[in-house]
Amino acid sequence: MKEMEYPRLGEKLFRKRLSNGLEVVTVSKPYHAKSYAFFATRYGGMDLRFRLDGRWQDTPAGIAHYLEHKMFDMETGSVMQEFARNGASDNAFTSNAMTAYYFTSTVNFYENLRTLLRFVSTPYFTQESVEKERGIIAQEIQETEDEPDWRVYTNLMGCLYKDSPARIPVAGSADSIQLISPQTLYDCHKAFYTPSNMILVCVGNLDPERVAAEAEAILPREGGKAIERDYGREECLSPAKREASQSMEVSMPMFLAGYKCRPQEGGEAFLRQSIIGDMACDVLFGASSPLFTRLYEEGVINGSLGGSFDMLPGAFYLYVGGDAEDPRRIFDEITAQAQKLGREGIDEDFYRQIRRAAYGGMIRSLNSFENIAISLSEGYFWNFDYCRFPEVFDEIAKADVEEFLRDNIAPERAALSLIYPPS
């Protein structure tokens, strides 16, 4: 067991790599009554093509999300009832690159931990249950597709990417999920739900050795082979197409502008780029930025403007959007402002303000057990130690943010998605 202290964060972690390859991390919170467990696999909506038993498998869009839904089924019934009996609140999610199962409890932590480990590592699917779930998920997909926020984002990803599965919704489509069978679910579980492809993060007043021992006793002794994945041909930095638009029931036009950014390899370079990208968003269109202030005062935006910087396997992008009567003007203003800041520089006082706010936000995020677990898991899957972010942060200069804006937020990298009210 490796004990790791981070004085700048006031955090203490215990790490152990089990013989089956599972990474077990316990975050010490001795004065908290609540405990939290997070069991994640490096498998998400983008992992549609992979090699299993020497053969390439092409799986339907939405299968990682479908599998997440079905994992709660046991031969004896729903695992949710077992968590409830032991005083735990459980849930799960599937993103583009991760699926995670977790619970929170104030009592019976180790009983609930054993339940979590057992049900995630022991799949149980029947033709009947898979068919029943198909209708439930199809309805969820339909409801989501009727939402303008979802549509404007999905259309943008279709503009930005031609070959990357980043353009495919995590839940798939009503058509794609029709192709999912119990066997495809078992195949995906076999490929990705192996200890060597997973991490267990527990947060609370816990015994790290016991956490590791519970995992060692329940999970398979063999870790499983590394899975070769295919995310399509490497994308160029120009978008697949420049614009997409459609009409939906909205009161005023919605827009989302996206910019393809240069991907980074894993390691601390990934963490560094994540911090720079987030600061670039704040500098460019944050609520205290000169551009936001000016456009708001001119009545061009209504306060809904916002966005983010996202990093997916082989697909890094920044997006910004909101509601506006003249979305193309805002799109042009954002692109022009990014190039100006990249060329002329960011105001020093404003940069210091943004820097303090960004660092403070990262520190405050550690108040959430869920944020801690997600950050540590992402760090493990991308090969960096998230708790080293203060040291990485120290090395970032204003010139790095300016370079990011100059290089990435450029007209040749940009695409625009529009939703218009019915004519």
**Would you call 68 a catalytic residue per the annotation?**
yes
Strands 306-312 and 315-323 come out as: antiparallel
Category of 348 on φ-ψ map: left (φ > 0), alpha (ψ -120 to 50) or beta: alpha
| CB distance 324 to 336 below 8 Å | no
Backbone angles phi, psi at 317, to 5 degrees: -155, 155
Q: Measured between alpha carbons, how far is residue 140 from residues 69, 83, 128, 136, 218 in Å?
A: 12, 24, 19, 6, 34
384's CB contacts (< 8 A; 6+ apart) are 266, 267, 268, 270, 271
Among the listed residues 340, 328, 254, 343, the one whose alpha carbon sits nearest the alpha carbon of residue 290:
340
Among the listed residues 215, 188, 190, 213, the one whose alpha carbon sits nearest the alpha carbon of residue 200:
215
347's CB contacts (< 8 A; 6+ apart) are 290
From 3, 5, 11, 68, the catalytic residue? 68
* Measured distance CA(11)–CA(7) in Å, rounded: 7
Q: Measured between alpha carbons, how far is residue 299 from residues 287, 289, 305, 417 in Å?
A: 14, 16, 12, 21
Which active-site residues does the annotation give?
68
